[in-house]
Amino acid sequence: MAVLFLSTAARAQVFREAFAHALPDVAFHVGEAPDPLRVRWIVTWNAPDDLATRYPNLRQIFSIGAGVDQFDLGLIPAHVGVVRMLEPGIGAQMGEYATLATLAMHRDLPRYLARQQVAEWAPGENLPAPRRRVGVMGLGQLGTLVIDRLRPFGFDLAGYSRSIRAIDGVSCFTDLAPFLARTDILICLLPLTMQTRGILDAALFAKLPRGARLVHLGRGAQLVAADLIAALDQGQLSAAMLDVTDPEPLPADHPLWRHPSVILTPHIASQTSAAEGAAHVIAGVSADLAGRPVAGLIDRRRGY
């Protein structure tokens, strides 16, 4: 039995040492396996095109990062489990970034950064946090963590998810329209699915209160960039902070780079620790060997 690792050399070294210590009887290969028939588990960001034919005994494919939307699930055999990365640092970093971004939107940071460029001293009016309505789209592990990080500031918090949720002190919605209507700062943490691709568009922005702000932490393909720019230029939205774009990297001539109401970061809200990632994969392989459920195994019908 073997693990095939398809990522950077630096990460490979950390994983190799961790596997040698924890699972010495499981062969660990980087880049390619001498005998593809022995490969039971693959750790990667992108699935090989010939996955189904080259590795007929594959049992699990582990994402090296937080998402699994980069995989074409239609090309991965139905019997192969797809496992998302569960690494504690991902949530902690996302909580930090979401707090940073929410406060930046709340305190009008894009406006002041733009005025700094033209040496204009023009104070605005601060709004108390309890009067700012923050809405989180996506109430999975990361969404609920972000809500917990924002609680101490006193924001009026709400959340949206497809399934019914109950979170103490948070207004939870399964109907998108009323959720948007009460949201001044919208935080998108939705997974990328066929239903969420392009969801951040002109129609959605029109349902927000005029002057609302956007924090986008989901996936770049969920945002229609031209619609965001139009909403900003027309005043329907007043600011946005984006950590994901489509494509990535964003071309140097893209207007989002220079829009005065946009703060843009290069998909750094959270980054996987190699050591913690290795521990998660080792736990998953160990569980699979013992016939136990693998933590992070996705529901392929839902795509996450």
Q: What is the CATH number of the domain that holds 8?
A: 3.40.50.720
Same domain for 278 and 145, yes or no, is no
Same domain for 73 and 172, yes or no, is no
The torsion defined by the Cα of 264, 265, 267 and 270, in degrees rounded to 10, comes to -130
- Residue 11 near residue 43 (C-beta atoms within 8 A): no
The answer as to whether 297 is a domain residue is no
pLDDT digit string, tens, across residues 152-168:
999 999 999 999 999 99
The answer as to whether 299 is a domain residue is no
Q: What single string gives the DSSP state of each residue in 167-197?
A: BTTBEEESSHHHHHHT-SEEEE-PPP-TTTT
Same domain for 115 and 199, yes or no, is yes
Same domain for 59 and 174, yes or no, is no
Same domain for 95 and 60, yes or no, is no
Q: Within 10 Å of residue 95's Cβ, how many Cβ atoms? A: 19
Same domain for 129 and 145, yes or no, is yes
The answer as to whether 301 is a domain residue is no
Tell me which H or E stretch contains 62. strand 60-63
Measured CA to CA, the distance from residue 304 to residue 299 in angstroms comes to 6
pLDDT digit string, tens, across residues 252-285:
999 999 999 999 999 999 988 999 999 999 999 9
Asked whether residue 66 carries a pLDDT value surpassing 90, the answer given is no
Average pLDDT estimate for 111-139 = 97
What pLDDT shows up at residue 201? 98
What pLDDT shows up at residue 301? 82
Same domain for 8 and 75, yes or no, is yes
Average pLDDT estimate for 179-189 = 98
Please tell me the total count of domains within the chain.
2
What pLDDT shows up at residue 55? 96
What pLDDT shows up at residue 101? 98
What pLDDT shows up at residue 49? 85
Average pLDDT estimate for 46-65 = 92
The answer as to whether 103 is a domain residue is yes
Q: Calculate the CA 135 to chain-centre distance.
A: 16
What pLDDT shows up at residue 65? 84
Distances (CA, A) of 119 to 39, 104, 112, 156, 244: 60, 20, 10, 34, 30
Same domain for 139 and 166, yes or no, is yes
Asked whether residue 57 carries a pLDDT value surpassing 80, the answer given is yes
The residues that are catalytic are 219, 267
Length of the chain: 304
Task: For residue 10, give both structure tokens.
Answer: 């630096």
The answer as to whether 180 is a domain residue is yes
What pLDDT shows up at residue 303? 77
Average pLDDT estimate for 59-68 = 90
pLDDT digit string, tens, across residues 210-260:
999 999 999 999 999 999 999 999 999 999 999 999 999 999 999 999 999
Q: What is the mean pLDDT of the chain?
A: 95
What pLDDT shows up at residue 147? 98
Alpha-helix residue ranges (DSSP H) falling in the chain: 9-22, 51-54, 88-106, 109-117, 141-150, 176-181, 202-207, 225-233, 274-290
The answer as to whether 295 is a domain residue is no
Same domain for 75 and 105, yes or no, is no
Q: What is the pTM of this model?
A: 0.88
Q: Which residue has the tokens 């935080």?
A: 187
Distances (CA, A) of 244 to 21, 71, 205, 220, 267: 36, 17, 18, 5, 5
Tell me which H or E stretch contains 135. strand 133-137
What pLDDT shows up at residue 302? 80
Same domain for 217 and 139, yes or no, is yes
The answer as to whether 95 is a domain residue is yes
The answer as to whether 123 is a domain residue is yes
Measured CA to CA, the distance from residue 15 to residue 280 in angstroms comes to 10
Same domain for 205 and 127, yes or no, is yes
Can you give the residue range of the structural domain that contains 24? 2-87+272-290
Instruction: State what percent of residues in the chain have pLDDT above 70.
Output: 100
Same domain for 231 and 98, yes or no, is yes
